Copies of this chain bind each other. A is one copy, B any other.
């Protein structure tokens, strides 16, 4: 982990509320200064948990002052009672902190289909507020973990027009979904000042280049949420008018997002490999993504990678079913790292199993597909499909 830097205008606490387990950080509160702007993206799954529904409503009604995150229970598949429970927790925090309930955004991750133990959360809120501080980021990163094996947090600083600006983010998630222990959650904060429309744009763009380009199992979650907060407390402003600062800031912001996203892949359930799939020279970004996901989500490609098998036939077959119109397989080149596997749809002349094996033995695998039909390119990241993945997901509830 890079050293985590405080973000002016944000205080955070992580405590043990005993939601599902004892002796485990499971309740995290972020407090934001009143000048903060907040942007959010949520799961597109139609089966969307109660806290996501409430957070969306509250975002429309006011500027958030608190983020309230619990693990141990996803409050998903809980209908009206679940929405009531999420509101109860927001109300309790709002009263203790002296804000209105719609200035609290709730987030939950954990078991699906069980009522949230609101009594334990409500009881723990005063302690969480007492413990708010500028430096509890690593605790917060630990406090939002479920089946993650390690906390995920990144900081970057940069100078914008003479002021130091910091970006610090945390994330959790070890599969796109853990249907019992749902979710990818990520919270990124900066002390720059950024107005709402630009903040929304920066979030959408950063997510599309990071969290929306990773896949463990193709399953999306009921609770996925990504939040970007700009407190303005550093005194520096990012505006679309100042292109140089905007570019600098965007680069740093996307490094934080991509760093968190790739940390999730590296910690994916049962993962033994970190796989980058580059698709280049496609007709459109969309067709590059279709090919990249067909490869990244193919159980057969993923099991081959798990076994360090340079199985180019499986990659070609995945490309072939990606649905591209008039795709000419006999134009395609595929490389594994620096080794050319396939040239013009056939095994490359100078390819040898020894070369392919050497690339596949690495922990970081890069597959590059050259479609030779245009100028678009896209990258997605994934993990392998291992015995361990099946074990974790088969045995999770037993």
Contacts and interface: CB of A to CB of B under 8 A. Distances in A.
Interface string A339-371: 000101111000000000000000000000000
Interface in A291-345: 297-300, 303-304, 306-307, 309, 311-314, 316-321, 324, 327-330, 342, 344-345
Contact of A306 (B385, B387, B390): B390
A220 interface: yes
B220 A177 contact: no
A211 B297 CA distance: 22
Contacts of A239: none
Contacts of A149: none
Interface stretch (A6-14, A40-48, A276-284): A40-48
Interface stretch (A54-62, A75-83, A156-164, A195-203): A75-83
Interface in A172-190: 175, 177, 179-180, 182
**Leading 7 A-B pairs by shortest Cβ distance:** A47-B320, A112-B313, A307-B394, A179-B314, A303-B393, A45-B320, A179-B313
7 contacts: A46-B324, A47-B329, A113-B313, A179-B300, A217-B299, A220-B321, A303-B390
Given A77-B312, A217-B298, 11 more contacts: A47-B316, A47-B329, A77-B345, A179-B311, A219-B300, A219-B317, A222-B316, A300-B393, A304-B393, A309-B398, A387-B390
